Structure 1
Amino acid sequence: MASIYDIKPAFQNLLRPGVRCLAERGVTANQITLAALGLSLLVGAALFYPGWQPGIYWAVPLTMLLRMALNAIDGMLAREHGMQSALGGILNELCDVVSDAALYLPFALLPDANLWLVVGIVIAAIISEMAGVVAVQIGASRRYDGPMGKSDRAFVFGALAVGVAAGWSGAWINWLFAALLLLLAVTILNRCRRALAEVHA
């Protein structure tokens, strides 16, 4: 199934001149990875502060976009500028999961939100990324299949944050969360099925 992840090559081409400049200045892939984590933790913590509601939610789509760029940059620095490392591989996977949790969990505090649906989304997102990584252990490639991969989740939560910041509210938000949870279940299934199919092929 299609995913926003599919447009990543075009996005990388736009970033490549800047990545080359960063490499020339001695910036490492791991530094970029940790910067993306720090940004997510900072914004996630700010979302918990009642005095900044709901305007602080305008920061979420900007953070998602910047994180997407930073994630692409760290990968390009690693692959194209000889910065791949075992530590980088660990940081890349763990920081993404922690960053997502930090940015998504505060949505559970919205007045009309169902706490357990948001918690379920965070757990399912972690499982979906684990399914992608486990594929490597069985001899397949790292799976990024949709329909609700990392980039897709960032887009949905970014759009939702814009709505929250603009003052939208209502029980409809839980229908959106339920749909996200269902799509994450499909994503987990797709990643497992395609990993197995790749190994058998």
Structure 2
Amino acid sequence: MASIYDLKPKFQNLLRPLVRLAARRGITANQVTLFAFALSFAHGAANIATHGARWVLFALPVILFLRMALNAIDGMLAREHGQETRLGALLNELTDVLSDAALYLPFALLAGLEPGLIVLIVLFGTAAEMAGIIGAQIGSVRRYDGPFGKSDRAFFFGALSFVLALKVAPGQWSTVLLAFAMALSFATIINRSRNALRDVRTQESGHA
């Protein structure tokens, strides 16, 4: 299924001059990864501390865009500038799910939103990333299948945050949207698992 992740190559092309500059300045992929995580954690903490202040909610789409850019930059620095390390791979996967939790779980504390659905979206999102990683472990590749990958979750929560910042009161509409996002998250786990297993079966039949 299609996902916002499919737009990543075009986004990377726009960032490539900035990546070259970062490499020349001695900035490492791991430094960028950790900065993106710190930025996510700081916003989540601000969201909790201010009980969802308007300026914090308005800031989330910007934070999510910066995080997306930083995630693309650290990957390009690693692949295109000889900075790939085991530590970098570990940090990349761990900080992705931790950043999601830091950014999105605070919404469970906002009045009017259904906390159980938000927690499930975050849990299913973590499971979807695990399914993607396990794909490579069983002989497929790192899976990024949709319909609700990391970029899609970011778009969803960024849009939700913006609407709430406009003082639109949560209600049935927000519960329905959260339930839909939860269902898409679960579908992403299924898709990534199924496609990984299909790849492995195809490879095994080709070697038979």
TM-score (norm 1): 0.98
Match of 1:87 in 2: 87
- Residue 136 of structure 1 pairs with residue 136 of structure 2: yes
Aligned partner of residue 48 in structure 1, secondary structure: helix
Match of 2:21 in 1: 21
Give the 5 Å matches for 1:1-201. 1-50=1-50, 53-171=53-171, 172-201=173-202
Q: Whole-Å Cα distance in 2 between the matches of residues 4 and 168 of structure 1?
A: 26
Aligned partner of residue 2 in structure 1, secondary structure: coil
- 5+ unaligned residues in a row in structure 1: which ranges? none
TM-score (norm 2): 0.95
Deviations 1:35-81 (A, max 9, x none): 00000000000001236613310110000000000000000000000
Out of 51-60 and 96-105, give the one that drifted further. 51-60
Q: Whole-Å Cα distance in 1 between the matches of residues 59 and 47 of structure 2?
A: 9
Q: Whole-Å Cα distance in 1 between the matches of residues 85 and 159 of structure 2?
A: 34
Deviations 1:5-54 (A, max 9, x none): 00000000000000000001100000000000000000000001236613
What letter is aligned with 2:77?
A: L
* Identical positions, percent: 56
Q: Whole-Å Cα distance in 2 between the matches of residues 54 and 185 of structure 1?
A: 30
Per-residue deviation, 1:159: 0.6
- 5+ unaligned residues in a row in structure 2: which ranges? 203-208
- Is this contact kept in 1: 2:132–2:144, CA < 8 A? yes
